[in-house]
Chains A and B, each alone.
Chain A
Amino acid sequence: MAGGIKKFVVGSFEDEAVLFPAVKNVRKAGYKIHDVYTPFPVHGLDHALGLRETSLHTAGFIYAITGTTTALTFMTWVFTKDWPLNIGGKPYFALPAWIPITFELTVLFSAVGMVLTFCYLCQLSPFIKKHHFHPRATDDLFVMAIECTDKTNDSELQQFLERTGAKEVNVQVAETGWWLGRYDRDQKLYRDEKGY
């Protein structure tokens, strides 16, 4: 539940082409962008936000070699120490026959490991809830959340966001971490929101 309550100025954009210069200008003005929520992956946005490259593939490599080692050591132990079987007159240590299994386990470990790591990093899981800055961020709006500090002038920042092209601007005080809950049970629909 790491995170804590923070104050944000949130701006919603309707167009990618407006979003990119806005991100650039907000960063240039010295504000700290908490995150940008988009309905689909936007090419180059991570670069514009100045995010560092993900280490997910390094994790994937480590999972993969773990899979390779697991497969090879396990099969070696089974077929040479624990229960040697003569299969078609092949040597007990029948490496070529094990390569497909080793390959499959390598792929399995890296795939499953990377999916779980991805979910962990994004805090995606059943029964886990997070604050949504705008429900239409999963539909048709690009939502930028800017973190406020003690020195941030909210109204000035709101005006600044409007000038960069944001259609909707508001201030939200929100929990940045996650909490237990269910989206299907306690979900407020957008049509029930004020101003629909």
Chain B
Amino acid sequence: MNHQFELPASYKKWTLGLIIAGVAALIYGFIMYHPFAHVSHGPGHGGGHGDVNSTRFWAVLLQNSVFWLLVVNASMFFICVTTMAMGGWQVALRRVPEAISSVVPILGIITFVILMAIVWGDRTDIYHWLDEEAVAKDRILNGKKGFLNPMFYTIVSAITIFLWWFLGKKMRSMSLETDKTGPMDYESGKKWIWKNTVWASLYTVVFGLTVASTIPWLWLMSIDAHWYSTMYSWYTFASTFVAGMSLVALYVIFLKNRGQLEYVNEEHLHDLGKFMFAFSVFWTYLWFSQYMLIWYSNQPEETKYFIERIGTAEKAGPYKGIFLFNLIINFLAPLLILMRKGSKRNWTMITFMAVLIIFGHWIDFYQMVMPGTVKNHPELMPFEFGIAALFIGLIMWGVGRYLGSHSLVAKNHPFLKESMIHHT
């Protein structure tokens, strides 16, 4: 069977359509929301309606770029941890997360440009810590100055995105090489697996130091610069990892529908479903741990984060609906629907749940970014969805490019047989 995949015309049409819609939204925002208008300093000062839209423009770009970048990056993490665990079951579908992770450099550059525009464009409405006057007067922010300053932010972001790209590229090229070099014997296979394990562990260490700790602090948590949570980075990781696994499942189902990935069957789908189920519960665990500790100790500087979102007993906050909706679609729905074995082995059900989970965690990121930036003016309008469409279109374009130009089965991978006979 030929494992070369010809991208269907409908896929190209959708990719183009989403990118056009996204660019239209971007241009609309560019013209209507005055993204480069002068910003009022700090919260509470001024803030006419035009101001809010200017903030909204950057906040939406920040939310989407960081979310989609971390989602595609999660694919490479999946490859690396399964490599290090000597996993065999995923080999039949391994080219799919590889293709998704090939979008990291594209989204990485876009994210970097957006972050730099925010930081060097002095967007104090996004990151309060950019306001030097306010920081000088503020004991807490003054103490965080060594970490929260434009130079440090720029350097760490640049190194991080570079390392994700570089190490991911290395993992992908080692996999693609096997297509050319042909089947491996025992010794060369062992050597190849060992080389993969070394690079995968390097990536995983970098991943731990960035996605699972510093990067969410810098890019997202510093929006609420006075507030901190030790759960935040894990929470961000869980959110993007479960969305990333859902994206892998979606592509696997798409390719399977097109008659590709001949070795993938319900057993592999079942395992992807288990990942979606387990990490939805893991996300909830972190969500709840963050919430309960703050609720219990009831310190004003900590509860502020939740008051901005759900409000108080007397007055509901503007994000209360989204906050509860977030919990329903990211916890209750996956828990109750994906619990059964049958639904994890059902192609239609996994498709539905994957879309739901990706959307749910997009909303999760929305409620992480917006309350600290646009404050009491949450909007979920065509502009927000348009920017999301732009990023989805870019991901579809990048993934399609990789899928169309390489064999869809890593046919010389030493563990392929293990994946073919995989059953639970």
| A97-B292 CB under 8 A given contacts A43-B423, A44-B423 | yes
Contact present for A97 and B423 (CB under 8 Å): no
Asked if A99 is an interface residue, CB under 8 A from chain B, the answer is: yes
A40 to chain B, nearest CB (A): 17
* Residues of B287-303 whose CB lies within 8 A of A: 288, 291-292, 295-296, 298
Chain A count of residues within 8 A CB distance of the other chain: 11
> How far is B422's CA from A44's CA once the two chains are assembled, in angstroms?
11
> How far is B423's CA from A97's CA once the two chains are assembled, in angstroms?
41
| A99-B292 CB under 8 A given contacts A43-B423, A44-B423 | yes
> Which DSSP category, helix, strand, loop or mixed, fits chain A's interface?
helix
* Residues of B363-380 whose CB lies within 8 A of A: none
| A96-B295 CB under 8 A given contacts A43-B423, A44-B423 | yes
Contact present for B291 and A96 (CB under 8 Å): yes
Contact present for A61 and B339 (CB under 8 Å): yes
A27 to chain B, nearest CB (A): 20
A155 to chain B, nearest CB (A): 38
Contact present for B292 and A96 (CB under 8 Å): yes
**B residues near A126, Cβ cutoff 8 Å:** none
Asked if A3 is an interface residue, CB under 8 A from chain B, the answer is: no
Cβ-closest chain B residue relative to A57: B341
| A88-B298 CB under 8 A given contacts A44-B423, A61-B339 | yes
* Residues of A116-160 whose CB lies within 8 A of B: none
B302 to chain A, nearest CB (A): 14
> How far is B297's CA from A88's CA once the two chains are assembled, in angstroms?
9
Cβ-closest chain B residue relative to A61: B339
* Residues of B269-301 whose CB lies within 8 A of A: 288, 291-292, 295-296, 298
Cβ-closest chain A residue relative to B285: A103
**B residues near A100, Cβ cutoff 8 Å:** 292
A180 to chain B, nearest CB (A): 37
**A residues near B423, Cβ cutoff 8 Å:** 43-44
A8 to chain B, nearest CB (A): 30
**A residues near B288, Cβ cutoff 8 Å:** 96, 99
> How far is B303's CA from A96's CA once the two chains are assembled, in angstroms?
14
B345 to chain A, nearest CB (A): 12
A79 to chain B, nearest CB (A): 15
**B residues near A88, Cβ cutoff 8 Å:** 296, 298
**B residues near A97, Cβ cutoff 8 Å:** 292, 296
Cβ-closest chain A residue relative to B291: A96
Contact present for B296 and A96 (CB under 8 Å): yes
> How far is B327's CA from A96's CA once the two chains are assembled, in angstroms?
14
**B residues near A43, Cβ cutoff 8 Å:** 423
> How far is B424's CA from A43's CA once the two chains are assembled, in angstroms?
8
B interface residues (Cβ-Cβ under 8 A, vs A): 288, 291-292, 295-296, 298, 339, 341, 423
- List 18 A–B pairs whose Cβ atoms lie within 8 Å, in order of A's numbering: A43-B423, A44-B423, A57-B341, A61-B339, A88-B296, A88-B298, A89-B298, A90-B296, A96-B288, A96-B291, A96-B292, A96-B295, A96-B296, A97-B292, A97-B296, A99-B288, A99-B292, A100-B292
